[in-house]
Amino acid sequence: MKYLSPKLLLLLTFFITSCSQAVSDKPTQVLYKSSDTSLNNSFKKLLSIAPLSLKKQLTTRQLSWLQQRGTTCGHNSLEHPTDKKILQCFTKQNNAQIKKLNNKTNILNELLNKKFIALTQENANNYKVNFQANCLCGQTIPYIDTHNNKLIISSSCSSSTNKKTTSDTITQMQFNDMGALEIEVINGFGSKYQMIFTQKKSSVYRITLFGKWGTIANIDKDIVGVIGTADRYNSQVENICNGFDG
């Protein structure tokens, strides 16, 4: 019986170990490639619905995140990683970013070019239709018109005698570090103001206003503090108002 030389035995051991490692790493590579594909698709979907004023910020932040991912995982090369630990780190980072991108897409789908209903908060998790704002025209409600690059603010009254509307120009739109949508606006008198939409739950947003938008002559009512999407809350308005409109 022939015995293998120490050098050949060492080489054979290394080959077997390498093959075993390659087999064990295959699921890791599959998970990474899947997350990488999903990441690209999520970002493309977000860009496809984002207005022009938002696309640049989203692209800049995504490039910054890619650099941060490389630093976090210890792989700053432009090539795809091959090390198992780095692949796992990339996959984890990708999945977290996918969640953030999808949430931004959802926010834009709910806020842009959509009608809102004024709400009031009952407790930490529940909201109901605001009777004063929706039935008595006691407050004004915004509408984000990205087709014309306008922020339209009007009372909820549908009758022409009571309805008051103003249309201001959107100068910038961006997501802040907390994931809220910030819209910078300038009105017809040259006054700048900012409106921030913070998601409280699906289809529900709190509005924070900075600046003196109230200098507009034909609007003298406060902007509602909480809104919900009309497709979710419109039926409740009809039940509560019972046909009464201002």
Q: Quick one: 234 and 142 in the same domain?
A: yes
* 83-102 burial code (b ≥16 CB/10 A, e <16): eeebbbbbbbbbeebbeebb
Domain that holds residue 103: 22-111
Cα–Cα distances in angstroms (integers) from residue 74 to residues 24, 29, 34, 80, in the given order: 21, 17, 21, 12
Give the pLDDT confidence of 165-198 residue by residue, as tens digits.
788 899 999 999 999 999 999 987 888 899 999 9
Q: Quick one: 144 and 96 in the same domain?
A: no
Cα 228 to Cα 209: distance, rounded to the nearest angstrom: 17
Cα 191 to Cα 176: distance, rounded to the nearest angstrom: 22
What single letter denotes the amino acid at residue 154?
S
Write down the pLDDT at residue 244: 57
Region 98-117: mean pLDDT is 96
Residues 6+ apart with CB under 8 A from 111: 144, 181, 197, 205
Q: Is residue 38 part of a domain?
A: yes
Q: Give residue 149's region: left, alpha or beta (phi > 0; psi -120 to 50).
A: left
Q: How confident is the model at residue 141 (pLDDT cuts 50, 70, 90)?
A: confident
Q: What percent of the chain has pLDDT over 90?
A: 50
The count of domains in the chain is 2
Specify whether the CB–CB gap between 246 and 136 falls below 8 A: yes
Residue 12, pLDDT above cutoff 50: no
Region 92-112: mean pLDDT is 97
Q: Quick one: 70 and 160 in the same domain?
A: no
Domain's final residue, options 65, 83, 111:
111
pTM reported for the whole predicted model: 0.81
Q: Quick one: 120 and 103 in the same domain?
A: no
What single letter denotes the amino acid at residue 137?
C
DSSP 224: P
pLDDT, averaged across the chain: 82
Domain's final residue, options 93, 111, 129:
111
Q: Quick one: 76 and 41 in the same domain?
A: yes
